[in-house]
Structures are given as C-alpha cells and as structure tokens.
C-alpha cells in the first residue's frame, strides 16, 4: 500500500497513526466531495443549495431569527472576504484556489539554497517563523500520496482533471488555525460561521507568506487549504491531534476548534510523529456529537469501512458522516453548521484551570470520571448570538 516516497526520512507507519486501511482502498476523487457535487450532482444540487452559495456573495438580507440578522450575515461575509479574493483570482481558469485547486505563488525561488547543517534545530527555527506569521499549530510529516486526491476539479465545467503536483515535494507542513471559542459557541448561526471565515482568510495570508519565505530560501513550496489532499490524515500523521467521531481532529491545545492548511515543500525538515492521547477511546464511549446533530448525520456505532455514499473515502476504517444529510442541513440554514464541534466535551478553553483538569482526566486512566462528569453536564447550551454581541460592548 505504501508508495515509496522521495524523502529523507521514513514514512509514518499506519500502526503509529492508528490508521486501518483495507486492500480495496482508493484515493478520493475530489469531484465526489459534497461541495463539488453541489454543482454537478442533481441529487445534491437544488434551489436551496444554490441559495446557500449565493448568500455568501450578495448583500445580506437578514432573516428575523436571532443570529441570522443582517449584522450576523455581514460579519460572516466580511470574515470570508480575503479567502474569497484568493479563490476568485484564478477562477476564470477553473482553479478555485484553496478549495478545488492549490494556491499559486509567483514569488521567485532563490537561485541559491540556504545551507542547513542541523535539520532538527533548523526545524525549530522554522516553526518559530510559522508562529510569527500567525499559525497556532504546526507539524511536519512526509508526503503520503494516499491522501492526495486522485483528481482535482476544474470549477468552470465541474469536471475532474489531473492533480499532479508541480514539483518533487518531500514533506508536508500542516498548520493549525484556532477558531474563536465565543463564536463557535453560537453555532448554529450566521454569526458563528464567521469563526470559519476568519480562519480561511488567515490561512490564505499565512500560507502565502510561508510559501514565499520557503521559496526565498531556495526551495520549492506549494500552498494548500482544503484543496489537493485530505488534510485530516496529514494532521494526525504530523502529531497535531487525534480523530474524533465528528470527523474532526481533536487537538490538546484547542480541542476540535481548529482548521488546517498545508504546504508541500522540498525544504529539508525534521518530521514529527503521531501522538496518541486516548481520544479514540473517549469517543468510543461518547455520542454527544451524534446525539446533537439535527439531521442525524453522524454515526453512533464503532468506526467502520461503511461507504455511506460517493462522498465517503473507500477503504479507511473510521467514523464517517453522511455528508448529504449534513450539507442539506447547512443549505436549510443558509450557513454552515458545527453543532457537533460546539457540543464536543473537548470544545473547552484549555488555558483555564477547569479545561486543564478536564484534559488531564479525559486522557488518563481516570477517563471514566471525565465521561461521568460530561454525562452529568449534558449537551452544553448554545451561547445566544445576542449575548455574544452584547459581550463585545
Ligand atoms: S455539521 Fe451539523 S449537520 Fe453536519 S454533522 Fe455536524 S452537527 Fe450534524
Ligand atoms: S462529542 Fe464525544 S464522541 Fe463526539 S467527537 Fe467529541 S468526544 Fe468524541
């Protein structure tokens, strides 16, 4: 299964990453991603889904419900503005950068490569620079082509096209971007969606700055957000967190409140290793996200190889959502939903005393105590969007 990679360090083993991959594994074709299907697949596309995308680009007319007023939609659309600028700039070529195509970078690659004598200490310095530009988390792992889409999508015709990377990359730099907890706590609302938009816009800026930095050091670098490859397995291999029932990576720093970007590069960097905290064991005994999901799109049973529909990757044993049900609910709201993120017991402030204690207990032999504590707490209440606006005054 493992392709031989052009890298100076070994591939991360599936055992260490805790991946279970069957012999009938197939790389995922991005044309089957639910956001691509919403444009070409009549079983997904309808007036409601068109209105969902349209609502991000037009002057907002607020609904009357709290959290869906003009002010909420205005903040959401503003938060996405920079990301939208990037995804639009080569849309005329069918390249929706950051979502269905990698991010172009016109900066020149320096003729001379900087000399790296000590890879480990250079990597520490490099991570410091990523944080300086605004990355909240950073991990590095070898290229693993299984996670690269078999095809990407030309968004002029919504047709699959070659996803061959323009370079002989050896490593993937995965950066984590923490979402604002106060906004996340108001899901579902147009206001909450700003938490996602802010991070996509930040990603676009940070990825562009970091790829320019690497190219100026004399090495190749290709920036990527949701495009080109699945970022979740890469984030796990890079040691940033563990997979949860709600299909998100749960990190020790921000729980599931993280978005990820990536950079493919030839820069010689020291690779991180996957870390196990006991999240899988916790999720095996918790169903809070699945219980709270309005369209019941999340599984309550153990991880499986079930292919729910064409948006599920084949041959990976995991918790998989029914993306059709999930996206249909988003279109009804006219904005994204992350109730599953909000209600997750790991959606906590891990800088607070209570947050620190919870993480310690939930990831130790005392895990049953954390599960009992959370059962007593029940599904956490949504922060009312009006309360969020007032909190800022
Ligand atoms: S995002 Fe919303 S609809 Fe989708 S799985 Fe999570 S709770 Fe369910
Ligand atoms: S809500 Fe519970 S089951 Fe779902 S991801 Fe969080 S800890 Fe795991």
For residue range 233-258, list pLDDT tens digits in order. Answer: 999 999 999 999 999 999 999 999 99
Query: How many A from CA of 248 to the centre of ligand 2?
Result: 9
CB atoms within 10 A of CB 390: 9
Q: 293: Cβ below 6 Å to ligand 1?
A: yes
DSSP 105: -
Q: Tell me which ligand sits closest to the C-alpha of residue 188.
A: 1
Rounded average pLDDT over 69-90: 93
Burial 272-304 (b: 16+ CB within 10 A, else e): bebeebebbebbeebebbbebbebebbbeeebe
Cα 319 to averaged position of ligand 2 atoms, centre (Å): 11
Q: Is the pLDDT of residue 393 over 60?
A: no
Using 50, 70 and 90 to split pLDDT, how confident is the model at 4?
Answer: very low
The CB of 344 under 6 Å from ligand 2? The reply is yes
Q: Is the CB of 297 under 6 A from ligand 1?
A: yes
Mean pLDDT of all residues in 294-307? 97
pLDDT of residue 106: 86
> Does residue 34's CB lie within 6 angstroms of at least one atom of ligand 1?
no
Nearest to 343 by CA among 231, 233, 244, 275: 244
pLDDT confidence of residue 368: 98
Per-residue model confidence (pLDDT) at position 391: 87
Residue 363 reports pLDDT greater than 70? yes
176 CB near ligand 2 (under 6 Å): no
Can you name the residues that pair with 175 across neighbouring β-strands?
138, 261
Name the domain count of the chain.
1
Model confidence at 10: pLDDT above 80: no
In a domain, 372, yes or no: yes
pLDDT computed for residue 1 by the predictor: 37
Radius of gyration of the chain (CA): 21
Q: What is the pLDDT of residue 61?
A: 72
Residue of 288, 290, 372 with the most ligand 2 atoms within 8 Å of its CB, for mutation: 288
Q: Is residue 39 part of a domain?
A: yes
Tell which one of 249, 278, 283 to mutate to probe ligand 2, the residue whose CB is within 8 A of the most ligand atoms. 283
26-79 residue pLDDT tens: 999 999 999 999 999 999 999 999 999 988 877 777 667 889 999 999 999 999
In a domain, 235, yes or no: yes
Of all residues in the chain, the percent with pLDDT exceeding 90 is 91
Does a structural domain hold residue 288?
A: yes
Domain membership flag for residue 274 = yes
pLDDT of residue 13: 86
Is the minimum distance from the CB of 340 to ligand 1 under 6 angstroms? Answer: yes
In the prediction, which pLDDT does 308 show? 96
* CA of residue 340 to ligand 1 center, whole Å: 6
Q: pLDDT tens digits, residue range 102-160?
A: 999 889 999 999 999 999 999 999 999 999 999 999 999 999 999 999 999 999 999 99
Query: Backbone phi, then psi, for 240, in 5-degree steps?
Result: -85, -15
Q: Is the CB of 338 under 6 A from ligand 1?
A: yes
Distance 285 CA to ligand 2 centre (A): 9
pLDDT of residue 7: 40
Q: Whose CA is nearest to atom 6 of ligand 1?
A: 340
Give the DSSP letter of residue 29: P
Alpha carbon of 130 to ligand 1 centroid (Å): 31
* In-domain check, residue 143: yes
Ligand 2 atom with least separation from CA of 246: 5
109: CB partners within 8 A, 6+ apart: 215, 218, 219, 220
Task: Say if ligand 1 is within 6 A of residue 295 CB.
Answer: yes
Mean pLDDT over the full length of the chain: 94
Look at residue 319 and tell me whether its pLDDT is greater than 50: yes
Dist. CA 111 → ligand 2 center (Å): 49
What range defines the domain where residue 368 resides? 14-391
Q: Is the CB of 282 under 6 A from ligand 1?
A: no
187, 297, 325, 342: residue to mutate for ligand 1 pocket, most atoms within 8 A of CB: 297
Is 5 domain-assigned?
A: no
345 in ligand 2 pocket by Cβ < 6 Å?
yes
Q: Which residue from 243, 252, 339, 344 has its CB within 8 A of the most atoms of ligand 2, so it is best to mutate? A: 344
From the CA of 10, how far away is ligand 1's center (Å)? 36
Is the pLDDT assigned to residue 3 strictly greater than 50?
A: no
CA-based nearest residue to 86, from 100, 98, 74:
98
Query: Residue 244: which residues within 8 A CB-CB, separation 6 or more?
Result: 250, 256, 279, 283, 289, 319, 344, 346
Bridge partners (DSSP) listed for residue 243: 249
- Residue 3 placed within a domain: no
Residue 155 phi/psi, 5-degree rounding, is: -85, 5
Distance CA 32, CA 39 (A): 11
Task: Supply the DSSP string of 267-324, one letter for each residue.
Answer: S--PPP-----SHHHHHHT--HHHHH-TT--S--S--B----STTSPEEE-B----HH
């Amino acid at each position: 299964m493992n392709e031989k990679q052009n890298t100076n360090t070994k591939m991360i083993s599936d055992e260490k990453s805790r991946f279970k991959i069957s012999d009938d594994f197939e790389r995922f074709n991005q044309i089957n991603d639910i956001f691509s299907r919403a444009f070409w697949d009549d079983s997904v596309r309808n007036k409601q889904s068109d209105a969902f995308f349209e609502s991000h680009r037009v002057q907002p007319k607020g609904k009357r419900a709290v959290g869906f007023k003009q002010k909420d939609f205005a903040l959401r659309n503003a938060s996405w503005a920079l990301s939208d600028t990037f995804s639009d700039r080569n849309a005329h070529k069918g390249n929706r950068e950051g979502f269905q195509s990698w991010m172009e970078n016109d900066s020149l690659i320096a003729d001379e490569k900087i000399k790296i004598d000590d890879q480990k200490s250079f990597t520490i310095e490099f991570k410091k620079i990523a944080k300086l530009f605004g990355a909240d988390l950073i991990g590095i792992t070898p290229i693993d082509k299984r996670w690269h889409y078999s095809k990407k999508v030309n968004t002029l015709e919504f047709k699959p096209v070659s996803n061959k990377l323009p370079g002989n990359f050896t490593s993937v730099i995965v950066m984590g971007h923490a979402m604002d907890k106060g906004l996340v706590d108001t899901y579902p609302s147009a206001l909450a969606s700003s938490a996602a938009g802010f991070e996509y816009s930040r990603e676009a800026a940070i990825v562009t700055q970091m790829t320019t930095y690497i190219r100026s050091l004399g090495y190749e670098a290709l920036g990527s957000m949701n495009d080109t490859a699945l970022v979740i397995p890469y984030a796990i291999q890079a040691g940033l967190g563990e997979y949860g029932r709600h299909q998100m990576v749960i990190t020790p720093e921000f729980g599931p409140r993280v978005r990820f970007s990536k950079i493919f590069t030839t820069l010689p960097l020291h690779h991180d290793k996957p870390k196990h905290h006991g999240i899988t064991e916790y999720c095996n005994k918790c169903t809070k996200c699945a219980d709270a999901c309005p369209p019941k799109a999340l599984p309550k049973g153990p991880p499986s190889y079930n292919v729910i529909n064409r948006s599920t990757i084949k041959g990976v044993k995991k918790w998989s959502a029914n993306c059709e049900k999930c996206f249909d609910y988003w279109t009804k709201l006219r904005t994204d939903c992350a109730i599953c993120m909000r209600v997750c017991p790991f959606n906590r402030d891990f800088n607070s005393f209570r947050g620190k204690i919870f993480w310690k207990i939930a990831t130790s032999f005392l895990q049953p105590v954390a599960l009992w504590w959370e059962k007593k707490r029940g599904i956490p209440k949504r922060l009312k969007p009006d309360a969020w606006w007032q909190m800022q005054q």
